[in-house]
């Protein structure tokens, strides 16, 4: 057991081995290299460790050198194909429905909902390459991390696009509900008027007789 100081945050770290390699500090999560075996006078003393032991890191942090398991890659590709086909279908149908109109309205909000849902499903296709790199980075980070907590890599651009599309779907749904209420009210009024006229005709016929 050897004890060294992190070159980034200056915290004391206990190492099971000081073989040459790449290590991660459990305090600041930054990486540092050890070129050769190091010793520390404090390691010779039987001092109770005050920090957790860290694992020796991978030889490289380049995600391109990490292999994703075949099962995970097959699941990723399957979702990508299904979401892409369904997304393209919804986008095309959404465009067609949008310009068909909705009763006396020029545009159909249902088409807008279909369109935005289709684009949402196409997000994995837009970030296909980035998703694979993120998966590799997650694998490496979890392998280097001394804790049992799993790290999840997030993409700010993808999150922003999801937020915009989610808001667009919600707004389109609200517009569709409002337009549907207007249409229902219109037919209720029309039916009420025709019912009143029909009732007057029946009354006139009844009293005339």
Q: Is residue 196 part of a domain?
A: no
Interstrand relation of 21-24 and 31-34 (parallel, antiparallel or unpaired): antiparallel
Q: Which of 148, 123, 120, 150 is nearest to 135 (CA)?
A: 150
Do residues 30 and 24 make contact, with C-beta atoms less than 8 angstroms apart?
yes
Q: How far apart are CA 143 and CA 126, in angstroms?
A: 28
Contacts of residue 140, defined as CB under 8 A and 6 or more positions apart, other chains included, come to: 58, 61, 63, 66
What is the extent of the structural domain holding 108?
66-178
Are residues 128 and 163 part of one domain?
Answer: yes
Are residues 75 and 126 part of one domain?
Answer: yes
Are residues 109 and 155 part of one domain?
Answer: yes
Q: Is residue 28 part of a domain?
A: yes
Do residues 23 and 6 make contact, with C-beta atoms less than 8 angstroms apart?
no
Paired residues of 3 in beta bridges:
14
Q: Quick count: other Cβ atoms within 10 Å of Cβ 55?
A: 15
Are residues 91 and 45 part of one domain?
Answer: no
Contacts of residue 136, defined as CB under 8 A and 6 or more positions apart, other chains included, come to: 63, 64, 66, 68
Do residues 43 and 64 make contact, with C-beta atoms less than 8 angstroms apart?
no
Q: How far apart are CA 145 and CA 52, in angstroms?
A: 11
Per-residue pLDDT of the chain (209 residues; tens, 9 = 90+): 677 788 778 777 777 666 777 777 777 877 777 765 544 544 444 444 443 433 444 444 454 456 777 787 888 889 899 999 999 999 999 999 888 877 877 888 888 999 999 999 999 888 888 888 877 777 777 666 656 666 676 778 888 998 999 999 999 999 889 988 988 888 888 787 777 666 666 666 666 65
Are residues 91 and 34 part of one domain?
Answer: no
Q: Is residue 201 part of a domain?
A: no
Are residues 71 and 129 part of one domain?
Answer: yes
Are residues 112 and 91 part of one domain?
Answer: yes
């Amino acid at each position: 057991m050897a004890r060294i100081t992190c070159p980034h945050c200056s915290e004391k770290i206990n190492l099971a081995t000081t073989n040459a390699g790449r290590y991660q500090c459990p305090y600041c999560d930054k990486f540092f290299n050890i070129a050769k075996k190091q010793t520390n006078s404090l390691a010779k003393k039987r001092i109770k460790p005050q920090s957790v032991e860290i694992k020796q890191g991978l030889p490289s942090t380049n995600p391109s050198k990490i292999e994703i398991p075949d099962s995970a890659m097959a699941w990723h590709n399957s979702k990508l194909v299904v979401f892409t086909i369904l997304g393209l279908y919804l986008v095309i149908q959404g465009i067609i429905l949008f310009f068909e109109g909705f009763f006396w309205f020029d545009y159909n909000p249902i088409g807008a909902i279909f369109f935005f849902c289709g684009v949402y499903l196409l997000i994995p296709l837009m970030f296909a390459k980035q998703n694979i790199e993120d998966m590799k980075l997650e694998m490496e980070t979890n392998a280097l991390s001394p804790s049992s907590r799993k790290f999840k890599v997030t993409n700010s651009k993808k999150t922003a696009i999801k937020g915009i599309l989610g808001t667009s779907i919600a707004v389109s749904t609200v517009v569709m509900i409002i337009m549907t209420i207007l249409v229902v009210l219109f037919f209720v009024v029309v039916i009420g008027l025709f019912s009143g006229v029909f009732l007057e005709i029946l009354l006139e016929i009844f009293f005339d007789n």
